[in-house]
Chain A
Amino acid sequence: MQAIYFLLALFLLLNLIAGMWRVLRGPTAADRMLAAQLFGTTAVAILLIVAQATGDPALRDVALVFALLAAVTAVAFVRRAWPDEDPRHDTD
């Protein structure tokens, strides 16, 4: 059973690395940020699986903090970085 958990975690990590391509290529800042947010979601999934595999409930707390604070980064991006980056969206 543990082997299946680790196989799943490995698969998710590969997914995450595939997502890195989008972070590097862009082309806009929002593409990069969304990919990083996807990283966060994937990392939460990996943490929950590893928590199940190793039987360490503290990892679920780490996953919880991840999930909550990823939203703060996203809000910071929307409020601080995005309008400057693309003036086309400023006309609302």
Chain B
Amino acid sequence: METLTLLALSFDALLNLSLLYLAWILLNCEDLLKAIVLFVAFGLLMALAWVRLDAPDVALAEAAIGAGLTGALLLTALAKLRVIETNKGTTQQLKQDSENFQTLHYMTPLALLLVAIGLGYVVFSMPPISAGLSNDVATNMGNSGVSHSVTAVLLNFRGYDTLLEMFVLLVSLLGVWSFGSTTSQHETTPGPVLDTLTRRLVPVLILVAAYLLWVGAHAPGGAFQAGSVLAAAGVLLLLMGWRPGGYLSTLPFRLILVAGPGLFAITAALLYLLKGQLLAFPVEYAGIIIFALETTATLSIAVILAALFLSEPPHSDKEHI
């Protein structure tokens, strides 16, 4: 037993040190491409850290978003940035921006230090041993409609958090769309290796997304994880040169975009009218309501994330016909 604790401790210590070291190099890195690769590596180690903290739900989300989608998103952003830079050259505006950034450079650590002091104060003022709300969650699990405590908290006990998060995602997509279309990069036709990989991988990604959605009721998983895995399938197709074109502006696509947050908001409003409480699911229907909400949320999250990756606003009706 003694060696086991020692081994676990040295594993955790090594993991923590490499996380701190990676974060430091990553922030000091001048080469953006190197920084992106370091960020992907950081996401991997961070997911391992969440596993060691006994939070497999967060580890799943970190694995799907931090190590998977963000890497692809950042690499594409960098490619677009390069196209813009070669088109315009280093203009006065860019110089001005970097000068403004210099003042930010000194302000940011100061702001972060204040946040760190505040957080430190909160952490040290907490009682040393406290069960928090976990006892309340445990006693009410029977009424939640699911058997996994994280899903019960996210979709039932604190459902409004998830409701608002869905809207944050939708608004972020509208924000990206409002920038208008960017110069698209020159696309080469994918070789046979990439082609075969995509054909094999996309069905597996869809299957795993469905599995994660289903398993969320009684084990780590759920809408956000399933949605990001499904979005990865879309991102893969987009990377291979598939373009939805005019399809983006059609009614079914728009309906899928708003289905998740929309159904959530409608459920909240109906329950408020019927029972006088926002998102207080009736016990006997809680399971089925949560499943319906999670399924639509998965679809919406997947489409929103993939559309964020594409980052081109849908054409107006006149253009695409």
| Given A70-B68, A72-B236, A81 contacting B33 (CB threshold 8 A) | yes
Q: Is the CB of A65 within 8 A of B33?
A: no
A20 to B38, CA, bound (A): 9
B154, chain A: closest CB distance, angstroms: 16
Q: Is the CB of B239 within 8 A of A75?
A: yes
Q: Is the CB of A23 within 8 A of B37?
A: yes
Return chain A residues, CB-CB under 8 Å to B76: 76, 80
> Beta-carbon contacts of B225-263 to A below 8 Å, as 1s and 0s?
100010010011001100000000000000000000000
Say yes or no for B212: interface residue by CB 8 A criterion.
Answer: yes
Size class of the B contact interface (CB-based, 8 Å): 35 or more
A48, chain B: closest CB distance, angstroms: 11
B15, chain A: closest CB distance, angstroms: 6
Q: Is the CB of A80 within 8 A of B220?
A: no
Return chain A residues, CB-CB under 8 Å to B14: 10, 13-14, 17
Q: Is the CB of B47 within 8 A of A68?
A: no
Return chain B residues, CB-CB under 8 Å to A57: 219
Return chain B residues, CB-CB under 8 Å to A72: 68-69, 71-72, 232, 235-236, 239
A37, chain B: closest CB distance, angstroms: 9
Return chain B residues, CB-CB under 8 Å to A77: 71, 75
Say yes or no for B183: interface residue by CB 8 A criterion.
Answer: no
Say yes or no for B122: interface residue by CB 8 A criterion.
Answer: no
Say yes or no for B78: interface residue by CB 8 A criterion.
Answer: yes
Interface residues of A in 18-77 (CB under 8 A from B): 20, 23-24, 26, 29, 32-33, 35-36, 39-40, 43, 46-47, 50, 56-59, 61-62, 64-66, 68-73, 75-77
Q: Is the CB of A76 within 8 A of B56?
A: no
Q: Is the CB of A39 within 8 A of B236?
A: no
Interface-located stretch among B4-12, B124-132, B269-277: B4-12
Return chain A residues, CB-CB under 8 Å to B185: 80
Say yes or no for B64: interface residue by CB 8 A criterion.
Answer: yes
A47 to B63, CA, bound (A): 11
